[in-house]
Amino acid sequence: MAHVTTNPTDLPMDRAAARPMSDVSQSTAKSYWRDNLRIMGALMLVWFAVSFGAGILFRETLDTVRIGGAPLGFWFAQQGSIFVFVALIYVYDFLMHRTEQKYQVDDDNE
């Protein structure tokens, strides 16, 4: 049976508990938030393009294609943008997890 430890000092350095944000230098914290805002901005742009662009602006063009009997523009306005929004939540989680590891503020081991 494998040895299971709950003491963070027993973990290898790459698995040790992360520092709280209060222990991070101000320049590191600024870089972390800049990356966070960049991620959120990019994901919000995708969300806007799908929900407003595909559902409203390009609806007539997209309506030439049908999905399950419904025009594609209508589908994006009613369901597609919701699916994309849920997918963006998972993308945000993945990207933020990677960003937190980059700045050593990941709290997965707590």
pLDDT in the model for residue 89: 97
Write the CB contacts of 46 (distance below 8 Å, at least 6 apart in sequence). Answer: 84, 88
pLDDT in the model for residue 54: 84
φ, ψ of residue 59 to 5 degrees: the values are -60, -45
CA distance 75 to 68: 9
2 occurs within a structural domain: no
Of the CA atoms within 13 Å of residue 37, those in its CB half-sphere come to 6
Against a cut of 0.75, is the pTM above it?
A: no
Listed in order, strand segments (DSSP E) in the chain are: 66-67, 70-71
108 occurs within a structural domain: no
107 occurs within a structural domain: no
1 occurs within a structural domain: no
Give the count of domains, the chain.
Answer: 1
Range of the domain at 91: 26-102
Tens digit of pLDDT at every position of the chain (110 positions): 444 444 444 444 444 456 666 677 888 889 999 999 999 999 999 999 888 888 888 888 989 999 888 888 888 888 888 899 999 999 999 999 999 999 888 777 65
5 occurs within a structural domain: no
